[in-house]
Amino acid sequence: MEIQRKQLRDAAIRTREQLAATDRAPLETAVQTHVAALLDRLDIHRLAFCWPYRSEPDLRPVVVDWLDAAPGRQAALPVMVAPARPLKFREWTPASAMVPDMHGIFIPADGAELTPELLLIPLNAFDAAGYRLGYGGGYFDRTLAALSPAPRTVGVGFELGRVDTTHPQLHDHPMHWIVTEAGIHPVGGGA
């Protein structure tokens, strides 16, 4: 089963990374538009998102607009504090000093630890039941199992990652919504 998951993951990443910039730009703009529309519907004050990595959709413009739209809102980025441990979430603003982590993903150099109400989680592959494949480290699944109260979750990616099944494992957590260039797809209890 893990071999199938790795093959799905690798194929989706390869396809995404091979998109020409001219093909990718309108897809990313559509994803950003749909994420912004979902955020407008939700009554949340703290969200976490991920710095774009390996040609994932860039949600920074959406998060900046969301922060600017109402006082008291906070955004955070995930920070890996130790291998095989849940992620922590460090406050981020557009002025935050950024440093690369051990994987080369940028994180805030410092900032308060936050507990998000909503997680915008990148996906490489996903299925109609709301299960996603990330990079195979299990960080978000461990984090979701540890957070209380559990945040709502949004898997964010491109339709090219849609598969019949991700072959979910017992530890996998389905997303509440999947957002792609095709729209907002409620799954796993999303409304």
Is 7 marked as a binding-site residue? Answer: yes
Is 14 marked as a binding-site residue? Answer: no
114 phi and psi, to 5 degrees? Answer: -120, 155
pLDDT value for 83: 83
7 phi and psi, to 5 degrees? Answer: -65, -45
List the chain domain ranges. 2-186
Is 88 marked as a binding-site residue? Answer: no
Is 169 marked as a binding-site residue? Answer: no
Residue-wise pLDDT for 119-163, tens only, equals 999 999 999 999 999 988 888 889 999 999 999 999 999 999 999
Residue-wise pLDDT for 14-37, tens only, equals 999 999 989 999 999 999 999 999
Strands in the chain per DSSP E: 46-48, 74-79, 88-92, 98-100, 106-108, 118-122, 125-126, 132-133, 152-156, 177-180, 183-186
Task: Give the fold, CATH level 3, of 2-186.
Answer: Rossmann fold (3.40.50)
Residue-wise pLDDT for 76-107, tens only, equals 999 998 888 999 999 999 999 999 998 899 99
Tokens 């389905």 locate to: 174
Is 56 marked as a binding-site residue? Answer: yes
| CA–centroid distance for 163 within its chain | 18
pLDDT tops 80 at residue 188: no
pLDDT value for 190: 57
